[in-house]
Every structure is written in C-alpha cells, then in structure tokens.
Amino acid sequence: VQLCSKGSAIDNPKSSPEDISSIASFIETKLVICYLKLKKPDDALNHAHRSIILNPAYFRNHLRQAAVFRRLQRYAEAARSAMIADYMYWLTGGTEQHTSNLIKLYWQAMIEEAITAEVSFSVMYTPLVTEVKAEKINKIKSMFAKYHPDYVEYIYTDPHGYHILPQTTKWPSHPPQKYSLTLGFRNKHIGKILERWSRRTLPIFPDRKTPFSPLTKQDAERYWNNTGKRIVPVIDIIRSTKLVDDRCPCARGIEKLHYASLLGCLERAEEQSQVINQAMAELATVPYLQDVSQQDAKLV
C-alpha cells in the first residue's frame, strides 16, 4: 500500500500486477463495509463491483456483492452473486462443507425472496436427465399450466443451457443436478419479447433491434415504461440459477452493457455508471465460470 501511495509500485520488481490488484481489491472491500455501515448501499455496490473486477476469484468479494444487492432488495441479483461465490469457493480450493452449505442457504433464500416478490410472472424448475426437445417442452408447459393457472398468458421455457439449484449442487464431488426453467406470464407482451430475445445469437437487450442503437430520451422513456422495467426482473431471475449461457459465455456482461446504454439514453448517469461496473465485474468473472474438472481447478 505504501508503494502504491508513492506511485512506485509498478516500477518495483518485487510487486506483481496480481499483488497490486489484490491490495486494491482489499481496499475496495473495506469501502463496501464502510458504506453498508453508513446505510449507503448504492455507494457500497460500486465498490463491491470494483473489488470483483480487481480480484474475481475471491469468493468473499461475490458474497459482499450479494449482501449489498440484498440490502437494495435486488434479490435475484443477490442470488446470482451467492451462486458464483459458492462456485468460486470450491474452484479456488475451499474444502469446508459447512462454509459451502451456508453460502448455498443464502443463495436459496435469495431465490425464494426474488420469486415471492414477483407478481407478474411465476417460475418452475424441472429436473433434466436428457436434452430438452420440443415434445418434452410441451409436456413441461402443460405441467406448468396445471400448477400455475394464473400465469398462462404466455409460457416460456429457457432453451439456452441448464439451470442449477442450491439444494442439489455439490461442487466439486458431484456434477450438479440440471434443471430446465419455465416462466409463465400474466402479460403476453412480455412473454413474447422474452421469446424473441432468446432466439438471438447474442443477448441484445430485449426488443431492441440493434445493439447500442441511439434513442431519443422520449423514445427511451417510452421503451423503458412499456418494456424495459418489466423485462429486467425476468432476466435477473433467469440468471440467478445459471452460471453461463450456452449462446455466449459473456451473455450476462453484454446484457448489462446494453442496459447501461439504455440508461444513458434516459440520462440516468449514476445508474449507468453502476451498471457498467456490474458488467465489468461479470466479464472479469467469466473465465472462471467455464466447466473445469477438479484436477484443472487446482491450476487456477
């Protein structure tokens, strides 16, 4: 820290970039804690994102991010952070099952909070044994309609990759149980937008024809009020139980960058900056979320 303050850390042959990043990340984590104690979770969130950008492999950074999201009542995002924290814990050599179990309980609690808080859609997870085909999807949708009759205006089953749940995930000793995710909506418009979004090669922010396309503030506000603010919670729920998207490993980061672009059009600069930091944290984490064997994990 002393070397950094004097501006000579980079020139010092004993200081590696990894060491400097770790120190900077440590400072960011302390700022997260300070702002949480001051009851300023929005400020804490930016520092939580930065701590991950600087040191994405440290599981506690993701747990702190989850805690901040929880304070902001952004439960689905808190669930995703907890899921990543649990994965990082074993990936980087964690062996205490008790610690992993506590993280999973937090992850599970955040999923339940997120689902309970939503009134415009409902979800159902179905265990998978084989790849989901069209016939199987139709059966899943019929089952969903039976158990969730109030959410059948549009029923959507996520076709991109599988989902995992904390109750049946036991890294690294066993591969996690795979699930399909089905969502039912009270608003057909949102369901159709989600369906169109899922057919794209890259996850362009739903219902936008081109990525980062400029909008007037008036057009952006109309889009946000009619679609954007309704679709963001859906995407967050989808990501809360999916480490990576089989369309693109960087999908979550790309989604957030498109979201930041929209916030820029809305002239919501502070939120835009926060979302950009979140996108960068997601992108910094991506290399660690690829499927690896237990033997490969020792090399991380």
**Per-residue pLDDT tens digits for 207-250:** 566 666 677 889 889 989 988 899 999 999 999 999 988 878 88
List, for residues 44-87, the tens digit of each pLDDT value.
999 999 999 999 999 999 999 999 999 999 999 999 999 999 99
Burial class for 57, CB neighbours closer than 10 Å (0-12, 13-18, 19+): middle
What pLDDT sits at residue 293? Answer: 47
Looking at per-residue pLDDT, the higher value among 200 and 15 belongs to 200
Which residue type is seen at 137? Answer: I
Which residue type is seen at 297? Answer: A
Within 10 Å of residue 40's Cβ, how many Cβ atoms?
12
pLDDT above 90: residue 161 = no
For 27, the domain range is 2-297
What pLDDT sits at residue 296? Answer: 46
What average pLDDT does the segment 119-141 reach? 86
Determine the Cα–Cα distance for residues 259 and 245; give it in Å rounded to an integer.
Answer: 18
Domain count, the chain: 1
pLDDT band for position 300 (50/70/90)?
very low
The sheet that has 154-157: what strands, in order across it?
Answer: 121-127, 179-185, 154-157
